[in-house]
Chain A
Amino acid sequence: MSIEIQNISKSFGAFTALKDISLKIEEGELISLLGPSGSGKTTLLRVIAGMESPDPNPNSHVLFFGEDVANKPVGDRKVGFVFQHYALFKHMSVFENIAFGLRVRPRSQRPSPSAIHDKVHSLLKLIQLEGFGTRFPKQLSGGQRQRVALARALAIEPQVLLLDEPFGALDAKVRKGLRDWLRGLHDELNTTTILVTHDQEEALEVSDRVVVMNQARIEQVGAPADVFHHPESEFVIDFLGNVNVFQGRINQGQAVMESLRVNLSEDSTREGDQANVYIRPNDISIDRVPISPSSFEATVTRINRAGINAKLSLASKNKEEIRVDISMERLLELDLQLGNTVFVHPTKARVFVPDYTI
């Protein structure tokens, strides 16, 4: 089902959680709302679910399939909501938890006991917890509990699945497993899904599109590769993975720093303006000798070999820290030791000129 959010704002007292947000979510899409805590992503999810009402404004609407749901309470929106801390009903068995949404229906719409039984068992099979129906939530691990919460949400055949940091309370390995499983499940069921997360790796890996949020606003919307390789703001490039930041000044179409110069792609900037240069650790090559005029000298201060790539820390002449990722083969080839002098050459850089007019 397509969901359209138009000009939604929400404030709690003096705190602004959402500022004029508009977003269209396509049917069958898995979209992530990604941002640091306090960026408004969970509030947006709760507004969509109907758990928060947006600030009154004649132009703000939440549309499900083109229909305004402002006056529809949570229970009528047919949303499957999954909470970070599961919110399973502690005193009910796994079976009763999943059956809850079917049992509370008005008598005329309630499935027969045998239909409920079949439905719950097919869901238990879907979440790979067959035979766990009689257990209680506290007898399950975190990952199992979250799968039960998902099955409970799916039991009402929701038009949209809303997941609020569903893997946030789980440890890294379980999280990764569940993430892959969720993507597989989505491909199978094709339910429109909105996933709230502060984990950029999770968002980039699992979703069709990523909505990067910061300070109550949407910073950028796009496919994972799009937002990663073509960040439109300093916040986005900084939030999506490790990056080196250098500060310099604009001089004759270049961003000039103490140790390096980067050509500017656009010339809408003024001479002498401050420029921030962002370079990802894997967009830097290093050599024993200078290979171009823009190469600059640095000293190796740390080598971390644990990983697929080697992570180096370098210090430039004026003590700036530079993080560089190179392949293990390259590391062997260069035969680097701590304290060695190397020449650094950025292969790709993004320059942002901070806009003080905001």
Chain B
Amino acid sequence: MTQNANRIQRETSDPWWVRATIVSISISFVALMLVMPLGVIFFEAFRKGVSVYLKAFQDRNAIRAIFMTCLAAGIAVPLNLVFGIAASWAIAKFHFRGKGLLIALIDLPFAISPVISGLVYILVFGMQGWLGKWLEGYGIQVIFAVPGIVLATIFVTFPFVARELIPLMQEQGSEEEWAAVSLGANGWQTFWRVTLPNIKWGVLYGVLLCNARAMGEFGAVSVVSSNIRGGTNTLPLHIDALYNDYNSVAAFAMASILASLGVITLIGKTLLERKLEQDSNSSLESTTTEGIS
């Protein structure tokens, strides 16, 4: 057995110099393109000392931008969480007409440029748009205002939770739910006690990625926001504005927030992936190691 394994190892492994070249290409690429720029953000942010760094956060416009970003993410993420769970539930557990179309449409925001999605909202909700005039009659302004930013954020982060949950729920099937229902549980009890515990790590994973994207979105939001400082600017837009003003310390100080969010997301993602793997391993185990009574 070990002899066999050794032989396979030897047959499939390439000469050392091939391995060394490929490994060093990957590492230097990641270092040059990813790690170094990330380091630069923090280096630039702290270049003129901690006090200058902290001062960047005392600016009224900066606080407003952070608030706007949190607001947009705070509305978009919960809404997409509810939508994502509903959509993946429908796709994984029911049969209905137009299921294929729904699966394809969920991916739409991944497929088109965020700028386009921003423009689409202007066409629909802008003053010259289809619904703009009508909404204005009720005193509601969507474009160049908070609702537009929230809508654009929802649009671009739409697929994250659903995309994560659909394969997970399809793999798990609906036998546990049927078991719960046959034992007398109602739909609500079945969801909270059986379905949700089975998908909780997947839900968290989706929420994490959804949030990172919601907070970092630039393109779509930039189109529907009027770039009013201290008004409708979100954090990424604010960073862009600061940088265009040659205020690089403040720009990088703000950027360091998003960069930290990125690092935290990465760590969380890695931990959750491990959890997810454990879960699918244990469900795999339950179908392969049967009958050792």
Contacts and interface: CB of A to CB of B under 8 A. Distances in A.
A170 B290 contact: yes
Interface in B157-187: 175-176, 178-186
B51 interface: no
Given A75-B186, A90-B286, A91-B198, A143 B293 contact: yes
A336 interface: no
Given A85-B175, A90-B283, A104-B189, A142 B289 contact: yes
A178 to B, nearest CB: 8
A100 B185 contact: yes
B287 A85 contact: yes
Contacts, number: 99
B179 A156 contact: no
B55 interface: no
Interface in B273-293: 282-283, 285-287, 289-293
Contacts of A80: 182
A153 B181 CA distance: 11
A240 B75 CA distance: 63
Nearest to A91: B197
Given A85-B286, A86-B286, A104-B189, A143 B291 contact: yes
Contacts of A91: 197-198
A87 B291 contact: no
A288 interface: no
Interface string A159-182: 000000000011100110100000
A141 B290 CA distance: 6
Interface in B38-71: none
Contact of B178 (A51, A89, A142): A51
B183 A100 contact: yes
A28 interface: no
A83 B177 CA distance: 12
A83 B189 CA distance: 20
Contacts of A230: none
B99 interface: no
Contacts of A104: 180, 183-186, 189, 193
B190 to A, nearest CB: 8
A326 B292 CA distance: 34
B183 A152 contact: yes
B184 A105 contact: yes
A79 to B, nearest CB: 6
Contact of A141 (B186, B194, B282, B293): B293
Nearest to A100: B183
A143 B179 CA distance: 18
Given A81-B178, A144-B293, A89 B194 contact: yes
B178 A87 contact: yes
Interface in B175-216: 175-176, 178-186, 189, 193-194, 197-198
Contacts of B283: 90
A297 to B, nearest CB: 46
Interface string B234-248: 000000000000000
B285 to A, nearest CB: 6
B291 to A, nearest CB: 4
Contact of A142 (B182, B197, B292): B292
Given A89-B194, A90-B286, A104-B189, A83 B179 contact: yes
A1 interface: no
Contact of A83 (B175, B183, B185, B285): B175
Contacts of A88: 176, 179, 286
B5 to A, nearest CB: 27
A292 B176 CA distance: 62
A250 to B, nearest CB: 48
A156 B178 contact: no
Contacts of A170: 290-291, 293
A347 B86 CA distance: 66
B291 A81 contact: no
A107 B200 CA distance: 27
Interface of B: 175-176, 178-186, 189, 193-194, 197-198, 282-283, 285-287, 289-293
30 contacts: A51-B178, A51-B182, A75-B183, A80-B182, A81-B182, A83-B178, A87-B179, A88-B179, A88-B286, A89-B176, A89-B180, A89-B193, A89-B197, A90-B198, A91-B198, A100-B185, A104-B183, A141-B290, A141-B292, A141-B293, A142-B289, A142-B293, A145-B290, A152-B179, A156-B183, A169-B290, A169-B291, A170-B293, A171-B291, A177-B293
Given A85-B286, A104-B193, A141-B290, 20 more contacts: A49-B182, A51-B182, A74-B178, A75-B183, A75-B186, A80-B182, A89-B176, A89-B197, A90-B286, A137-B286, A138-B282, A138-B286, A141-B293, A142-B291, A142-B293, A144-B293, A156-B183, A156-B184, A170-B291, A174-B293
